[in-house]
Structure 1
């Protein structure tokens, strides 16, 4: 895994990473207060973000946060100025 990250929402912390710089792999979800596992996946069977949403739809806010962080890393925000366009 190229880049391991952690995202926390609603008292849960997801460990996820980028594979080949553009694919999300979900490693595990833990309770943020005591690090107890909620769900963990084995190497080679890490679900991508869409699969994680299907497996654990009740964690939608957590998956949304991962998606947001992923896109912020992939396309960092920058100032709009001459030569740049905002797409609606």
Structure 2
């Protein structure tokens, strides 16, 4: 699956869509990149967004950016949609 990226407040997250879940693959500081906060190679072992939100509540703006990217991708306007009346 395709990796996506979100960056907020000096933090970056690499994430993937897994069916209807968001799997966080990598979280690291853009300022101090010596050691990532999270680095998972196997998608099935990657925590979902809710787990990361619970474990690292101080990064809520990063998690909000990931969630926004997810919804922007999942709910896209239909190319030939004329909307509702």
Q: Using the alignment, how far apart are the partners of 1:14 and 1:28 within structure 2? A: 5
Q: Using the alignment, how far apart are the partners of 1:3 and 1:62 within structure 2? A: 19
Partner of 2:38: 40
Q: Using the alignment, how far apart are the partners of 2:55 and 2:72 within structure 1? A: 24
Give the TM-score normalised by structure 2.
0.78
Unaligned runs of 5+ in 2: none
RCO higher in structure (CA 8 A, sep ≥6): 2
Q: Higher helix fraction: Structure 1 or Structure 2?
A: 2
Unaligned runs of 5+ in 1: none
* SS state at 2:73 partner: helix
Residues 37-58 of structure 1, C-alpha deviation per residue, up to 9 Å, x if partnerless?
3411432321111011011111
Distance 1:37 1:17, change over 3 A: farther
The size of the alignment, in residue pairs, is 81
Q: Contact 2:27/2:39 (CA < 8 Å) preserved in 1?
A: no
Residues 2-48 of structure 1, C-alpha deviation per residue, up to 9 Å, x if partnerless?
1211100001100111123x321001111124533341143232111
Partner of 2:13: 14
